[in-house]
Structure 1
Amino acid sequence: MELKKRSGWGLRAVAMAGLAFGLLTILSGGNALFGSAAARAAVGNAVPFVLWFNFLAGFAYVAAAVGLLMLRRWGLWLSVAIVIATALVFIAFGIYVQLGGLFEMRTVGAMILRIGVWGIIALVARRSLGGR
């Protein structure tokens, strides 16, 4: 039995938000990693593995958003993978902090935001595209 895909405004809206989020993530992460000395200094005590993960995840955000806009089920599963991978990196970040690593408090908020945004995107995609 074929699942009917519901491609209403909700899926398109979250996909467009995910696309914008991805492009902004690539831009800001690229600036923090490859920008001027002043731009790199502005990130403060950024945790390198979190910074690199978030930068590279920006490309996955764009890919997932495109998949969702094309009503492809892989866009849903990539969205779920993004949430899981981000949560795992957040756990690793927490361990790093507990071991005394230097960090910026804004990283905590940014990781919570990323998990929340992609959690919502994945839920809307699941509702619209089905889970199989």
Structure 2
Amino acid sequence: MKKNKILKIVVAFVLTAFALLTVFMSSSVLFDWFGIRAKEGNFVPFIVKTNLTMGIVYLVAAYGFLKSKSWAFWLMLSAALFLLFAFAAFYIHIHAGGLYESKTIGAMAFRIAFTLIIAGLIYRTTNKKT
């Protein structure tokens, strides 16, 4: 039982930290805070907006997870699906000749994997028989 609680706190902390970083970086690019937009190069606005949305979704999921709500898992799974759709749209954007940074491909793949891993940990922690 204690191990489960520690895992829950660690997962919630990691998810919240990642969410706050995502919201900060995405909003900085969109609203050009601290000159970050210039450093990002050829960013794709719909990907940045998707990431900002996911940051907010991650915060809501972290809250639900800490409150042991089963919807936190479904929210994270929905977030992964949303990210997959955005990644497919990004693929179309690339092949249509749109400008992009190659690091965005790896970043999106990481974000999708991160979301699925956290969803799995949330499922394991909230649905585990004690």
TM over 0.5: yes
* 1:1-132 superposed matches below 5 A: 7-36=4-33, 38-130=35-127
- 1:90 to partner: Cα distance: 0.6
What is the identity percentage for the equivalent residue pairs of Structure 1 and Structure 2? 35
Structure 1 contact 18–118 (Cα < 8 Å) conserved? no
- 1:7 to partner: Cα distance: 4.4
Runs (4 or more) in structure 1 with deviation over 6 Å come to none
Q: Structure 2 stretches of 5 or more lacking a match?
A: none
Which structure ranks higher in relative contact order (CA pairs < 8 Å, sequence separation ≥ 6)?
A: 1
What amino acid is aligned across from residue 103 of structure 1 in structure 2? Y
Structure (1 or 2) with the greater helix fraction? 2
- 1:121 to partner: Cα distance: 0.6
Structure 1 contact 14–124 (Cα < 8 Å) conserved? yes
What amino acid is aligned across from residue 120 of structure 1 in structure 2? I
Could you give the per-residue CA deviations for residues 18-52 of structure 1, whole angstroms, max 9, x where no partner exists? Answer: 11110000001111111248322111110111011
CA RMSD of aligned residues (A): 1.8
Distance 2:92 2:5 in 1: 41
